[in-house]
Amino acid sequence: GLEAAMELRRLRGLTPASARQLFTSTVAPVVDYASNVWMHACKDKAMGPINRVQRVGAQAIVGTFLTVATSVAEAEAHIATAQHRFWRRAVKMWTDIHTLPETNPLRRNTDRIRKFRRYHRSPLYQVAHALKHIDMETLETINPFTLAPWEERMQTDIDQPQDSQTRAGVYMQIAVSSSARNKLVGFGVAIEKQPPRYRKLKLKTISVTLGARAEQNPFSAELAAMAHALNMVVGVKDYRITLLTSNKAAALTLRNPRQQSGQESVYQ
């Protein structure tokens, strides 16, 4: 890690943003290699070499002195601390283990990792103990799937204003929106329907409380609102139906639904 940081310092004339990106992509992975195993034993004096890498990296980014404190150098260079990177990798690893299939041996041994032992503790025990309050069993399972070339796909337009010509004739516009407030997540649906023969416009609004904020988010609520709105117009004929949403992520999910969150709503 120190060698990689010294090589970064040899590059002259880099902007702080470019040097910071190089540090994150070239130096940090070398230092953090297999940190999930040895991070718990890296304390006090063992942190000396890692702190020196951090100081050299900060010097390459903003030109700090090597004698400055590590925390000050990290703050001036706007780089994450080593402990922060270690725990971020540990949390990702712990989450990835719980998203493995049930047939995987590591997935079946998560309960054994959590067991309390005085001696011969697994390096993952402290990770499991620190994250014991996070319910990993309620994680959403995203199963990738493929769409056949002949299957009909939903057409999406991102940031494209609607002209007046597309609204001529018999049409139906459905606007959906989601919100999170007071620890609850819900969505609203507004349907504007123009019947044939120049009849009066019909407007219908719906509001639904989806669930608690700990279980849902505005993105999943937006997908649920789309599914609810489209289920309401099943069987409607001779109408040009337009679905409007301000959530760009939800619109992109409908364009490429193969491996996205909210599969239950996308499937509907």
pLDDT, averaged across the chain = 76
**pLDDT tens across 217-238, in order?**
888 888 888 888 888 777 777 7
- pLDDT greater than 70 at residue 74: yes
**pLDDT tens across 162-211, in order?**
554 455 557 778 888 888 888 888 888 888 877 766 667 777 888 888 88
The per-residue b/e assignment along 3-27, b for 16 or more CB within 10 angstroms, e otherwise, is ebbeebeeeeeeeeeebbebbeeeb
pLDDT of residue 113: 66
Q: What span, in angstroms and rounded, lies between the C-alpha atoms of 195 and 247?
A: 28
**pLDDT tens across 242-262, in order?**
888 887 777 777 766 665 665
Q: What is the mean pLDDT of residues 66-70?
A: 81
Q: What is the pTM of this model?
A: 0.57
Q: How many residues does the chain have?
A: 268
First to last CA, the chain: 49
pLDDT of residue 265: 62
Q: What is the mean pLDDT of residues 84-93?
A: 87
Q: How far is CA 256 from CA 66, 99, 110, 140, in A?
A: 49, 22, 33, 18
Give the domains, in start order, of the chain with CATH numbers: 1-139 (no CATH), 164-267 (3.30.420.10)
pLDDT of residue 115: 61
